[in-house]
Chain A
Amino acid sequence: MLSSVVFWLAAALAIAGAGGVLLARNPVHSALSLVVNLASLGVLFLLLHAEFLAVVEILVYAGAVMVLFLFVVTLLMAGTKAPKDEHRLRLAYQFLLAVLFGLILLVLVAHVMLGADWISNLAGPNAGSFGTIAAFGKALFTQYLLPFELTAVVLLVAVIGVIVLGREHGANR
């Protein structure tokens, strides 16, 4: 009973947040809407007993990534006004692209959801410890070791890239 109330509240907030990202005229309001969306997703993860994922969703996305977004937006926006109509015309092709990619994503999600084996996943061997840090870590370091290590390499490349770009700038000064 209670969990379905929480579900509908969080789901409604998640959709409202996603809508707010698109519809807000002010980039700071868009960023805030995205935070609402991410926090609601965190609650939905909690309802699925994925405690670790829920916390990481809030810690990493809402707490760190979005703060950096907001940081840049507030810094760049100081003194500028909302985009005028000629800017919006220039954005028209981006709008079409966004709709196209959105539809592709929707098809992918529908495909995965319709093909998923819900019942056996829920009653699987990990049903009791599902979502705990221990279960998550074990899966990460055994079953998904290769993708995990590859992600680490990708992140390392990004870190090196940042250092190279930063140094170039410093040397010219």
Chain B
Amino acid sequence: MATVIIILVKGLILAVILLSVFGVMTLTERKVLGRFQFRPGPNRVGPGGSLQFVADGLKLLLKEEIIPNGADRFVYLLAPVISLVAALFAFAVIPWGPPVHLFGQTVPMEIGGPNVGILFLFAITSLGVYGLILGGWSSHNKYSLLGGLRSSAQIISYELAMGLSVTGVLIAAGSADLNNIVSAQTNLWFIVPQILGFVIYVICMVAETNRAPFDLPEAENELVAGYHTEYSGMKWAMFMMAEYVNMVTVASLATTLFLGGWHGPWLPPEIWFVIKVALFMFFFIWLRATLPRLRYDRLMAFGWKVLLPVALLNTLATAVWVAVAR
């Protein structure tokens, strides 16, 4: 019974942390984007605009909830919930520190560490697509439908290359358990031998989270706002939360797989983990401020004709290298 309580408490803490990160990230993104574009960004609410995200949250809570005429009510309400739940659930297997000893019990920092660890994470994130495609379909709006179809096509395509880019790490570590992968990087981070896999992973990670320059599902000049065109208030906010939590998850996975997880000198391991994830989060904003959006057919061609073959080659090369080295 104690283990069940520990898991519940950990889950609650993690959900609160992730959703607070969402609030802080929206503010950070607006401020940093502002700096990139030579303007101050939001600076009216609180000192230096630091309470802007509270104002945003209040506004969304008080906003009128609209369900469009002709929408499939049940599916329309379900879609944002699927997105958010899948996003939060996926983080459960990320080890963001070594196990701690608390009240005479050894408590691992992740909620669950199945030996299929990383596959579990991919399985859950693959369910997140339902939020987008169902949100697009149930809104009864052609822009939403097209946005939903686009995003699901994009995510399915890049999921393949992403999975293959990670296979190299799995072969090199000899395990799919994220804790084993972290401990396999005690001496050398996998970013060095798996640099090709890392580059592919980072490209796919941006595409998977529908962020610029791969934010075609919500290309505003052709699709209004894509799958969430008809959503307002907290339902819209849930889609946004899912997007930011997904960003944190893929950044944490990149840290775990390629940057040695929580390993690092001097500072406590949890701090190292946060620093590495924060670097990736800044990278997301940087990309958004720098690169223009890709054209849709180019995006698909790039995923299938460049990323996938290169990822396959990387897997093959790693397998040969490991086989010869043993």
Contact = CB atoms under 8 A, between A and B. Distances in A.
A71 B149 contact: yes
Contact of B116 (A35, A55, A64, A67): A55
B94 interface: no
Given A67-B129, A78-B145, A28 B137 contact: yes
Given A51-B115, A55-B119, A59-B122, A71 B153 contact: yes
B4 A2 contact: yes
B120 interface: yes
A159 interface: no
Nearest to B129: A67
Contacts of A39: 127
A75 B149 contact: yes
A58 B123 contact: yes
Main secondary structure of the interface of B (DSSP, over half): helix
B248 to A, nearest CB: 20
B133 A74 contact: yes
A64 B163 CA distance: 13
Contacts of A47: none
A162 B72 CA distance: 34
Contacts of A59: 119, 122-123, 126
B152 interface: yes
Contacts of A26: 72
A64 B119 CA distance: 14
Interface residues of A, number: 27
Contacts of B153: 71
B156 interface: yes
B148 interface: yes
A59 B156 CA distance: 11
B307 interface: no
A71 B130 contact: no
A129 B72 CA distance: 46
A39 B120 CA distance: 13
Nearest to B128: A63
A52 to B, nearest CB: 5
B116 A68 contact: no
Contact of A63 (B115, B126, B133, B137): B126
Contact of B129 (A51, A63, A133): A63
Given A32-B75, A74-B148, A74-B149, A133 B115 contact: yes
A62 interface: yes
A56 B126 CA distance: 11
A67 B156 contact: yes
Nearest to A58: B123
Contact of B123 (A2, A63, A75, A133): A63
A94 interface: no
B127 A62 contact: yes
Contacts of A28: 72, 75, 134, 137
B126 A35 contact: no
Given A54-B116, A74-B145, A133-B116, 8 more contacts: A26-B72, A28-B137, A32-B134, A52-B119, A59-B123, A62-B123, A67-B133, A133-B119
